[in-house]
Structure 1
Amino acid sequence: MHLNPPPAADVAEHADARSVAPLLNCLLREVAEPHDGTGERPVYRLPASGRLLRVLGERRPAEPEVYAAGAWQRVGHAELVKLVADELRRHTGLSNHELPAEMIDSRDALAALLTARGRATPPDDLYLRSEQSLLTGHPYHPAPKARGGGPVAAWLPYAPEAHARFPLTLLGVREDAVVEEGDTAALDALGEAPPGYRLLPAHPWQLDLVGRELAEAFADGRLVRLGTTGSEVWPTAAIRTLYAPEQDLFLKFSLDVRITNDIRRLWRHDLLKLRRTDAATAAAFTALDGRAAWLGDRGYRTAGFAFEELAVLVRDGLRDSVLPGATPLLAAGLVEGFEGSPLLGIQDPVAWWEAYLAQVVPPALDAFAGHGVVLEAHLQNTLVAVDDDGMPVQALFRDAEGVKLLPEVSRPAGWERLVYCLVVNHLVEIAGALVERFPALDPWPAARRELARHDLPEIPALLSAPTLPGKTNLLLRWTAADGAAARYLPLPNPLAR
């Protein structure tokens, strides 16, 4: 069913509200100090400027107000961006002109997405609907919907949040220029290359971004255009990772755009270690005692003269991995909400949460304990399959690029990363979504029991430590740190209550 686009005033209001919440989350987590929590609206002090800020709510704070001229003054998203930038300049002693622009770009992109979504038809498939549901996105990033500052017309046709689907561009790469590793045979089924060439699918947005750099290769015949695929692909929550339902295949591309913390290229150094990382993770899952599945990154293909720009990674599809009769759903989609989400039909939240924990927690901990594999088990890399009653029956994990292996990282560093991804980024958010629907629910005794079942030396400290590691995305971006160089600050540990 096609829906009428929302009125412009409603779009602006909704875009502001959805953009304010993650920015406030970052500011309150990383910089602000609690000042007065006794009223309906908690009050915080911004230490560098001395300003007082109050908000409505805690999990998704709203309606920010600043105390000025003897009264509380409401601030919208644009004014909040200025306030945050001023506070961070004072707090760090550094200036940054890029991040405020990204915050504004994120809000404007969200307005465009809301308008486009009002005209779009959501997919019938519940899995695809969950992947394309992330209108707010990362709840602790200052600019979760930024799209590199480019014009809306350049990126909107490829936006999962607007329910996009599109054919891939097909290129032929001269055989002597092909670089590949692993199993890439599935790419050859997407079309037909002329003699002396190999098929290379390309993301049309990426091709637009790097087209000028490839002009010489097209001119001298190292690259040829072969049209488009006969079927369409669907962008997933990761934007540059696309699902081809007819082939049951995921394809991950480079995308020369900053999305959240990083320019989303398939970097050479990551591709060169991909097979080793994926093989170690697949071996760990084969040895696990349970239903969990790993969606393996089979291999990659690219052109030697544009190694990163044209790289495409081949990832396992769903049909051979998901339990018969179960429906996979993106964990991040469960937090965001979408029509048909099992969270909307839960009758027994305790039983549902216990089932969820039983599927998601053991694979992540067992892979770490027995195989030295640190899964990036955050909301966007985890699928949870549910049965016909909406009960979780299986967890599936993905993205070898984000996996770390011991001892390539130290055990303490690997454990900190795992706790952040699995507990802080993932379980805390799912628990929060449950408690919003069932305010009487205390989710943490069940989480403690599930974690305590695992015989890891780090577990007792996890269950008793007063704090957990929280990633500082706002300060990372303000200080222009490498997005992969995570920095953490202590957050109250709900497991220790």
Structure 2
Amino acid sequence: MKIGGIMGRGESEFAAELAAVRPALSAAYAAAVPGARAAVLGRLWRSLLHEPLPGIATSLGHTAQHGCPPPEGSEVVLADGRRLRGPERRPHDLGEVPVLWLDGTPYREPAALLAALGLPGSARLTADLANSVASLALSRANARADRRHTPEDHEQDVVDGHPYHPCCRNRPGVSVAEQLAYMPEHRPVVALDLVAVPAADCLVSGPWPDALTDGDRLLLPVHPWQSEHVLPDLGVRPYRKGAIPARPLMSVRTLAPLDGGPHLKTAFTTRMTSAVRDISPGSIRDCVPLSDLLAELSRRAGGPRVIRYLAGAAATAKGEFSADLAVMLREPTRAFAGNSADVLPVAAVTPGAVDDPAAWLAAFARLALPAALRLLAAGAALEAHGQNLLVLLDGRGRPARLAYRDLADVRLSPARLARHGVEVPPVAARLLHDDPGVLHAKLYGSLVGTTFGGLVAGFSGGDRDAEAGLWRIVRDAAREAFDGLPCHPDVRADREALFAPYLMVKAHLLAQLDCTPPGDNWIKLPNPLFASL
């Protein structure tokens, strides 16, 4: 890649494909490239500053992991002595960074910068960053306002993806034409295929619907990308192509059928953002009993409406249940919202759509914090980031009710559940943890580190005084929520952790290095609720 106005490899490949399949978008794509670079570079700079990455000798992230207050600063010192400089970037800050300076040399392309840094295990990640920039530019080039105001429209309004992840729009193996045809921000209708498989050879959870049954065979909805790229290697062909027209939601591989039936979570076996989007047999086994448990716990605790999985199935391929040929059926959004169109993922909330940010945030905090903390005390830690949390707005556009969806990343405490007279359901061992640190990281890292962090940063617009005031609103709501809970050792531990100097949050860049063990990687970041005391 070259520095300056020349397109990098990922960008130029996208430009060439776009010229062939949608030439009318070419000019808009070229215009969107600089902003997409700056958006990804801003996310990359956050990770370089705040994550303890190999190949870096001194940074805010390295300092924080040793338990001392991180200094104010905007410099990273590499192990070989080179220095990378840029603007101040707190962990929850949003916004673009047009340029970073490595020993006086300007870098505007994230992939070019990462290649120049030479961090151990970063070769694949360098290609992912290039893909993220190119795909983000395509998303922005084709973004358009759609004022139909259905729940699906709100889902598809999210153009930029994860607010803090450098690979926010990474979609390797998905061509330009396929992105235009399948990705939610391009507002397509996707026609899902059906695969017919013997029921006796399937792993099934929950009551499978008659409408997806043909005699002794189950008809599994399959994403057309999966049919094209994955099923041939499994020796499987669709029984019927284009059978279910549906609109893709934020997660890409979950779709809302146009007929209003259950949402369909399909396998889409490539890395998007950072994870491979298949559906493990374990998730199929867990989906219904986990839904039942969380729905009952939330009902008891006055928590959010749990959007339940109704059924799931995985077919056999090459002698075993296949994560590449599986699907889950989830309650549609309208099961929570009725006929209201004013229900949206919290990630879709934009500052421009909120007339009074402080009032909006206060209403949301008074809903989200008591609900999440009561569930935590009862034994369930939600991964409450902006894609999983849905908010129903009242007539003034303020939060009135909450729902929670996508249950596979919750953590359950058998000991806490037992203290509340609840038996642990038959779910995968990976979901079960009694360690309070694991429970706190799961809930606080997502709810405070991502959801509230993104809202506060977006609403304050970089004004540090306004930002501090918004964090005080969140802090006060958290205190009130704890005051309403019984004085129990679990609750005291939860309270201490929420107001501690540091929070454990997911590392986004570290987790993508080839030398990092698989699974969640947790790091310490300064806790804005502690800073606001």
On whether the aligned pair clears a TM of 0.5, the verdict is yes
Q: What residue in structure 2 maps to residue 432 of structure 1?
A: 457
Which among 54, 58, 62 is matched to residue 97 of structure 2?
A: 62
Sort the Cα spacing of 1:153 and 1:485 in 2 relative to 1 into closer, same or farther, 3 A: same
Sort the Cα spacing of 1:482 and 1:256 in 2 relative to 1 into closer, same or farther, 3 A: farther
1:444 aligned partner, one-letter code: W
Aligned length: 458
C-alpha deviation, 1:57, in angstroms: 6.6
CA contact (8 A) 1:248 1:319 kept: no
Sort the Cα spacing of 1:189 and 1:20 in 2 relative to 1 into closer, same or farther, 3 A: same
Which among 473, 479, 482 is matched to residue 508 of structure 2?
A: 473
Equivalence map 1:17-166=2 (5 Å): 17-31=38-52, 33=59, 43-48=74-79, 49-55=81-87, 59=93, 60-66=95-101, 68=103, 72-77=104-109, 80-87=110-117, 89=119, 94-117=120-143, 122=146, 124-166=148-190
CA distance in 2, matches of 1:43, 1:376: 30
C-alpha deviation, 1:384, in angstroms: 0.8
Sort the Cα spacing of 1:347 and 1:126 in 2 relative to 1 into closer, same or farther, 3 A: same
CA distance in 2, matches of 1:325, 1:208: 36
Q: What residue in structure 2 maps to residue 210 of structure 1?
A: 230
CA contact (8 A) 2:48 2:76 kept: no
Sort the Cα spacing of 1:459 and 1:95 in 2 relative to 1 into closer, same or farther, 3 A: closer
Which among 363, 375, 379 is matched to residue 355 of structure 1?
A: 363
CA distance in 2, matches of 1:365, 1:437: 29
CA distance in 2, matches of 1:12, 1:460: 44
C-alpha deviation, 1:430, in angstroms: 1.0
More deviation, 447-456/53-62: 53-62
Which among 437, 449, 456 is matched to residue 476 of structure 2?
A: 449
Sort the Cα spacing of 1:155 and 1:61 in 2 relative to 1 into closer, same or farther, 3 A: closer
CA distance in 2, matches of 1:227, 1:137: 29
C-alpha deviation, 1:357, in angstroms: 0.7
TM-score with structure 1 setting the length: 0.84
Sort the Cα spacing of 1:144 and 1:229 in 2 relative to 1 into closer, same or farther, 3 A: same
Q: What SS does the corresponding residue of 1:443 show, helix, strand or coil?
A: helix
CA distance in 1, matches of 2:115, 2:286: 38
Q: What residue in structure 2 maps to residue 394 of structure 1?
A: 401
CA distance in 2, matches of 1:315, 1:482: 32
Which among 239, 243, 246 is matched to residue 229 of structure 1?
A: 243
Q: What residue in structure 2 maps to residue 283 of structure 1?
A: 296
For structure 1, which runs of at least 5 residues remain unmatched after alignment?
36-40, 219-223, 338-342
CA contact (8 A) 2:170 2:273 kept: yes
1:87 aligned partner, one-letter code: L
CA contact (8 A) 1:160 1:236 kept: yes
1:81 aligned partner, one-letter code: A
C-alpha deviation, 1:16, in angstroms: 1.7
Residue by residue, what CA displacement relative to the aligned partner does 1:294-334 show, whole Å, maximum 9, x if unpaired?
10112202322353211110111122322675721111111
CA contact (8 A) 1:24 1:61 kept: no
C-alpha deviation, 1:117, in angstroms: 3.5
Q: What residue in structure 1 maps to residue 28 of structure 2?
A: 7
CA distance in 2, matches of 1:384, 1:390: 10
CA distance in 2, matches of 1:199, 1:26: 43
Percentage of identical aligned residues: 24
Q: What residue in structure 2 maps to residue 303 of structure 1?
A: 315
Sort the Cα spacing of 1:196 and 1:8 in 2 relative to 1 into closer, same or farther, 3 A: closer
C-alpha deviation, 1:474, in angstroms: 0.5
Q: What SS does the corresponding residue of 2:509 show, helix, strand or coil?
A: helix
Q: What residue in structure 2 maps to residue 247 of structure 1?
A: 260
C-alpha deviation, 1:243, in angstroms: 1.4
C-alpha deviation, 1:421, in angstroms: 1.0
Q: What residue in structure 2 maps to residue 221 of structure 1?
A: none
CA contact (8 A) 2:230 2:324 kept: yes
CA contact (8 A) 1:25 1:139 kept: no
CA distance in 2, matches of 1:324, 1:159: 25
CA distance in 1, matches of 2:458, 2:327: 35
Q: What SS does the corresponding residue of 1:468 show, helix, strand or coil?
A: strand
C-alpha deviation, 1:205, in angstroms: 0.9
CA distance in 1, matches of 2:88, 2:440: 34
C-alpha deviation, 1:7, in angstroms: 3.4
Q: What residue in structure 2 maps to residue 201 of structure 1?
A: 221
C-alpha deviation, 1:280, in angstroms: 1.5
CA distance in 1, matches of 2:388, 2:322: 25
CA contact (8 A) 1:45 1:52 kept: yes
Sort the Cα spacing of 1:34 and 1:256 in 2 relative to 1 into closer, same or farther, 3 A: closer
RMSD over equivalenced CA pairs, Å: 2.7
C-alpha deviation, 1:260, in angstroms: 2.2
Sort the Cα spacing of 1:109 and 1:61 in 2 relative to 1 into closer, same or farther, 3 A: closer
Equivalence map 1:333-348=2 (5 Å): 333-334=348-349, 337=350, 343-348=351-356
CA distance in 2, matches of 1:352, 1:438: 18
1:44 aligned partner, one-letter code: E
Q: Does residue 264 of structure 1 match 2:277? A: yes
For structure 2, which runs of at least 5 residues remain unmatched after alignment?
1-23, 53-57, 62-71, 415-431, 486-490
2:87 aligned partner, one-letter code: V
C-alpha deviation, 1:143, in angstroms: 1.3
Sort the Cα spacing of 1:47 and 1:166 in 2 relative to 1 into closer, same or farther, 3 A: same
